[in-house]
Amino acid sequence: MRHASQKPAQEAADKTHPAARLKLRVPDKARILIVCDDDSITERLNIAFREAGFFSECTKNITVGCESARSGRFQVVFTTPVLCDGSWRCLVEAAHHYDLGFEVVLLARTFDLSQWAEALEAGAFDVPDALDELPKAAGVAKLALEGSLPQATSAAP
């Protein structure tokens, strides 16, 4: 009887263990940080990323965003140009200074060609329009991930 009572517990462990492993693998390959103080933009980005199969986390300030990005958990950071405690440049500087390999995507609230070029020269991966191009955010993230993931993990066996 002792053996029979152990069997259901073992079956329950077998059923939950594979699911837990699957949940852990996906975020390691496609983890996105959203640094934005606009709730509507953040929600639209979250929906686009979730539908594309990406895992995303959010923060509303640059200080927390930089600390989170420096943790090495994120491959792509989407941010608006200026928040209450700093600008997107802090994220680009962190990416380059610590050589963490994450890409910064700047969400422009207003489009200015000279600012767009300046952002790209400073190290931003892309500068999509926050009003019109949010539906394309998952595609931009996918392109950024291709550049930020190590070749060994992106190559097919």
Domain spans, the chain: 30-149
Indicate whether 84 pLDDT > 80.
Answer: yes
In this prediction, residue 25 has a pLDDT band, given cuts at 50, 70 and 90, of very low
Residues 6+ apart with CB under 8 A from 48: 134, 135, 137, 138
Indicate whether 130 pLDDT > 50.
Answer: yes
Maximum Cα interatomic distance, the chain, rounded to a whole number of Å:
77
DSSP 109: S
Indicate whether 8 pLDDT > 70.
Answer: no
Instruction: Give the integer Cα–Cα distance in Å for 135 and 28.
Output: 23
Indicate whether 152 pLDDT > 50.
Answer: no
The pTM score is 0.70
Secondary structure (3-state) at 1:
coil
Q: Which of 67-76, 77-86, 148-157 has the lowest mean pLDDT?
A: 148-157
Can you tell me the mean pLDDT for 109-121? 83
Selection from 1, 3, 83 nearest residue 36 by Cα: 83
Do 50 and 24 form a contact (C-beta atoms < 8 A)? no
- And the tokens for 12? 């329950």
Can you name the residues that pair with 76 across neighbouring β-strands?
32, 103
Higher pLDDT among residues 126 and 147, named by residue:
126
pLDDT in tens, 36-65: 999 999 999 999 999 988 999 999 999 999
- Specify the CATH number of the domain 30-149: 3.40.50.2300
